[in-house]
Amino acid sequence: MQITIYQGNDHHLRPSDVNIVIDVIRAFTVAHYAFLQGVKEILLVGSVQSALKIKEHFPEVLLAGEVKGLPIAGFDLDNSPFTIAHHYGLKGKVLVQKTTNGVKAALNALNGKEIYVTGFSNAKTTAHYIKKKWTNAGNQTEVNIVASHPLGEDDLACAEYIKNIMEERDACLTKEEVINRIQNSCVTDKFYDPKQKEFNPVDIEYCTKELDSPFIMRINKSREIPTIERVDI
């Protein structure tokens, strides 16, 4: 495999076999917990207006996301994994997700043959799944890993962790080292700032839990709106 890591949410990648988009804090950790709660699928949109328009036509959908990390007026849910993990009655529901980094990066990564999203919570499972699926495709398999936050060490550490697993170099970066880098990322500062009560420090605990979930999250780009789907493995 030829694996390249990019950092930031505005890359327009050249065509590849696989694109993996990471948002640890917090979009794709939220997505992971949403599927654990029984959500059917997650539609990805690039603007608040697009999300509200979908809600207008399909009032049964739930809007989830943030702008600059903060809840959005008119949305049903924020971008907190703690909130989504304790929001019951999600089974069979459709979410519409809009976030600053992860969703934007995913929408810019649709030219891969396959596109996956993950936080740290599902990173190991995602890496092993892709490695196994593409093992027999030859050494020319091109994989892009996008650490969606432009500055955050959290997404970059997770990207390097996935790359090491796929290259069978697990010992080069341990799970504990990744967790430490996530916890000490500049992105976490606001969660521990008593003046910024909108950010729940418990979210960081959820973002640093490695779960053994029996599924990965893949984007179906053939839909009218790009959609994250749960793929059981």
231 located within any domain: no
Q: In this predicted model, what pLDDT tens digit does every residue of 13-60 receive, in sequence order?
A: 889 999 999 999 999 999 999 999 999 999 999 999 999 999 999 999
- Does residue 230 have a pLDDT over 90? yes
Map tokens 């907190």 to a residue. 80
Domain span holding position 107: 2-224
Q: For residue 165, is pLDDT > 70?
A: yes
Could you report the per-residue pLDDT of 107-140, keeping only the tens digit for each? 999 999 999 999 999 999 999 999 999 887 666 8
Tens digit of pLDDT for each residue in 69-98? 999 999 999 999 999 999 999 999 999 999
Q: How far apart are CA 117 and CA 52, in angstroms?
A: 23
Residue 116 CB neighbours (<10 A) = 27
Number of domains in the chain: 1
d(CA 162, CA 131): 10
Query: Is residue 233 domain-resident?
Result: no
Query: Within a domain: residue 232?
Result: no
Q: Which CATH number belongs to the domain containing residue 60 in this structure? A: 3.90.1560.10
- Tell me the pTM: 0.96
Note whether residue 70 is domain-resident.
Answer: yes
